[in-house]
Chains A and B, each alone.
Chain A
Amino acid sequence: MAKMILEGNQALAVGAKLCRPKVIASYPITPSTHIPEMLSEFVANGELDADFINVESEHSAISACIGAQATGVRTFTATASQGLALMHEILYVASGMRLPIVMGVANRSLSAPINIWCDHSDTMAERDSGWMQFYSENNQEALDLVIQAYRIAEDERVLLPAMVTIDAYTLTHTFEPVDVPSQKEVDEFLPPYKPVYAILDPERPITQGSFGTPEYFMEFKYSQQKAMERAKEVIDEVFREFEEKFGRKYGKIEPYRTEGADVILVTLGSMSGTGKEVVDQLREEGAKVGLIKVTVFRPFPAEELREAVRRAKVVAVIDRDISLGFSGAVFANVSASLINEEKRPLLANFIVGLGGRDVRPEDFREIVDKSFRILEAGRVEKPVEWINVSGEVP
C-alpha cells in the first residue's frame, strides 16, 4: 500500500492498471481523457502488459472491448457524456452477451447546449442498459470501486458489465491523497480472468451474439434481471472481503448520521461530501437530518434503502440529472422502492447542479429547509423542485 496524490482520472487509471486488463480500447473525450492517456503510458513504458487499441470512436471502443472480452481476456475502457451516448447501442449488446467489461465514466452533461461539466445525465441515460453502476464520492472510492467492480462483474453468478463513475472536474481533475494497494494485494483479491462461457477458440467453436426470436428473447432478459438480483448479494460479499483485506468499508448505500433523522437526503457521487458537511453543521444546530449516499445505482438497492429511511418523515432525493418530462432518475427509483410500504416518508425531489453548476452548502441548506417545511405541512406541494436556477432562457 502506498499513498499517492492522484486526480480522479488517474485514480481510475491506476485502479484499472492494478486489475491487469489485457486489452484497453478507448477514445479520448473531455473530461475523461487523462484515463486513456495514463493507461497508454503504462503500456508504453512496460508497466502494464496490455494491448492499447487507439480506436476511432467510442462506438468502436466498446465494440473492440466486446470482441476482445468474447475472445477471452479482461478489458477496460473509459469515456464520458457524448462518448457514452455514442456507445449506447453497444452497451446493451455487452450486457446481453454477458461480458464482464469494466468501464470508467467521467460524469458529464449531455448536449445541447454542449457543456463539458458535471452532471449525471450521461450514466442515468444508461440505467436500463444492463450495466451495473457504481458512483464514486472521491478518488479513493474510484480506485477501490474499479477493483471491486471486476470481482463482481466476473463472478459466475453475475457476468454483467459494470461502470464506475467519477464526477467531471470535481473528481476527474481534482488531486486527492489515495491509498494505492500493491499489485500483490490486488492480485490476491482479483484472480486472473478466466472466461466462463465466452471464448472464441477454433478448438472449441461456439457462436456468440445469436439471433434471438420471440420464443427465447424474454428468457435472455429474464436471465439478465436474475443476474442483477444475484449481483446484490455478490456485491455485499465482495465489499466485505475488500474491507477485510484493505480496511475500507463499502455499502450499496452509505447512511450518514441517519439515526433519529426526521429528514434524510439522498445523494450520489461527489456532492455527497458537501452534503455530509452540511449535515454535520445542521446536526450541531440541532436539526434532525441525515444523508444516504447511493454508491450502487444498478442493481438498485431498494431493500437497504427501505430499511434506512424507515423512521424518516421526509426523504429529499437530490438528483444531478433530470428525466425531462418527469423527475430525476434517482427520485423515481427511490419512490418506487417505497411505494408498497404501509408507512412511508413524504418524498420530494430536488434537481441540482446540471452542466457543472456548483452544488453548494447553501443549496443543501435550502433543500433541508424546504424538507422541514414539508414535514410541518405534512404534504408535498411541489414534488420536483429545481434549486439555484434563475428561470427559463429568454
Chain B
Amino acid sequence: MKEEKQLLAPGHRMCAGCGVALSARLCLEAAGEKTIVVVPTGCMEVTTSQYPETAWRVPFIHVAFENAAAAASGVDAALKMMGKREGVNIVAMGGDGGTFDIGLQALSGMFERGHRVTYVCNDNEAYMNTGIQRSSATPYAAWTTTSPPGKKSIGEFREKKPIGYIAAAHGIPYVATATIAYFADYQKKVKKALSADGPAFIHVLTPCPVGWRFPPDRTVEVSRLAVQTGVFPLWEVRDGDIENLRITVKPPERKPVEEYLAVQGRFSHLFKPEKQQDVIDRIQKMVDEKCERYGI
C-alpha cells in the first residue's frame, strides 16, 4: 500500500490490526479522491470523525446507524440535480450491524431505486462498536457477549445471513464478496462496482482482533484462512444472475475449517476444556456443502 497521501489518513483511532481500517484504505485507494463517503454509526465512524479532527481526506458524511443507504441516495440525487454526478463516486461503508440488520430496509430501498452507489459492507461478524454482541452476520458456534456458550448453548446457534445473495436478489448490476488478504481481488471489485451503472454491493470480511480474539498482527492471516478453508468464498455476480456466480479466487486445496477456528478465541469453547468434535464437524459439513455448490 502506498504510504503517501492515504485518503483515510493515519492517526485515526481504530484498533491495532483492525480489518475495517485496512478495508477502508484499500477501498479508497481503488476509488480515488473523487469519492464521497457515507458512513453509518459504528466503529469506523466514531474512530475517524471525532470533532474537531477528521481522518477523511475525501468528503464524508455520517447521519445515523440505519440509514447510510438512504443518505447516500440523497447524495446521488443531489449530485445529479447539480450536474456534478459524472466523475464522482459515492461509496457507503457500513458494518454488519448497519447493513445486515438495522440498515437492511434502507439498503433494499437504495438497491430497488437504482441509485449509483457502491455499498461496501465491512463485516466483522458482530456489533463490535458496542462491545461484541451478535448480529445476523455472526457465524455458527461463535462466542459473542450475547451468544455466550454455556451448558445449554454452543454459542451462536444460527447460520450467517446470506447478505450477498439478498443483495443480488435485487437484480442490481454488481455484487461481490472480498476480504483484505486478497487485496488485488478486492480493489478490482471496487473498480468494477464503481463502473456499474447502478447500485453495487461488496461484502468484505474484515477480521476484528478484539472481537474474534486473535493477536492484532494476525488479521491478514485470519482473513486469508477464511478463504483457504472455504468459510468465505470470494465471488462476484452480475445483474443478480446467481446461477452464473463466478468464483474469483479459488484456493488450490481447501484447508480444514478447524485451522480457521483454532486461531480465534471466539471459537475456543470448541477446543477446551474438551474438544467438541461434533460441532467442528458440523461446521466443516456446512462449509463443504457450500463449497460444493461453488465448485471449490
Residues of A near any B CB (own CB < 8 A): 22-23, 25, 49-51, 53-57, 59-61, 63-73, 75, 89-90, 93, 97, 200-202, 204-213, 216
What total of A-B pairs shows CB separation below 8 Å?
A: 158
Asked whether B105 is an interface residue with its Cβ less than 8 Å from the other chain, the reply is: yes
**Known A51-B77, A56-B108, A202-B35; further 8 A-B contacts with Cβ < 8 A:** A22-B78, A23-B81, A59-B66, A63-B67, A63-B74, A70-B75, A202-B88, A211-B45
Contact, CB under 8 Å: A73 / B81: yes
- Interface residues on chain B, size class: 35 or more
Q: Which residue of B lies closest to A27 (CB)?
A: B109
Contact, CB under 8 Å: A59 / B80: no
Contact, CB under 8 Å: B79 / A71: yes
Asked whether B49 is an interface residue with its Cβ less than 8 Å from the other chain, the reply is: yes
CB-contact partner of B106 in A50, A60, A65, A69, under 8 A: A60
User: Across the interface, which residues of B come within 8 angstroms of A66, CB to CB?
Assistant: 63, 71, 74
CB under 8 Å from chain A, chain B span 175-231: none
User: Across the interface, which residues of A come within 8 angstroms of B88, CB to CB?
Assistant: 202
Q: Which residue of B lies closest to A199 (CB)?
A: B59
Contact, CB under 8 Å: A210 / B62: yes
Asked whether B60 is an interface residue with its Cβ less than 8 Å from the other chain, the reply is: yes
Contact, CB under 8 Å: A57 / B105: yes
- Given the complex of chains A and B, what is the CA–CA distance between A216 and B51 in angstroms? 8
- Given the complex of chains A and B, what is the CA–CA distance between A212 and B51 in angstroms? 6
Asked whether B72 is an interface residue with its Cβ less than 8 Å from the other chain, the reply is: yes
State the main secondary structure of chain A at its contact with B.
mixed
A-B contact pairs, 26 of them (CB 8 A): A22-B78, A22-B81, A23-B74, A25-B73, A51-B80, A53-B113, A56-B108, A56-B112, A57-B106, A63-B70, A67-B61, A67-B77, A71-B78, A71-B82, A73-B78, A93-B63, A202-B59, A205-B57, A206-B59, A207-B54, A207-B59, A209-B62, A210-B50, A210-B52, A211-B50, A216-B52
User: Across the interface, which residues of B come within 8 angstroms of A55, CB to CB?
Assistant: 70, 73, 109, 113
The contact string, 1 if C-beta is below 8 Å from chain A, for chain B 76-113, is 11111110100010000000000000000110110011
Contact, CB under 8 Å: B77 / A207: no
CB-contact partner of A200 in B51, B57, B61, B77, under 8 A: B61
Asked whether B14 is an interface residue with its Cβ less than 8 Å from the other chain, the reply is: no
Asked whether B38 is an interface residue with its Cβ less than 8 Å from the other chain, the reply is: yes
Asked whether B33 is an interface residue with its Cβ less than 8 Å from the other chain, the reply is: yes
Contact, CB under 8 Å: A213 / B38: no
User: Across the interface, which residues of A come within 8 angstroms of B63, CB to CB?
Assistant: 63, 66-67, 90, 93, 97, 209
Contact, CB under 8 Å: A68 / B109: no
Contact, CB under 8 Å: A67 / B82: no
User: Across the interface, which residues of A come within 8 angstroms of B67, CB to CB?
Assistant: 59-60, 63, 90
Contact, CB under 8 Å: B77 / A202: no
Contact, CB under 8 Å: A22 / B82: yes
Which of A49, A60, A70 counts the most chain B CB atoms within 10 A?
A: A60
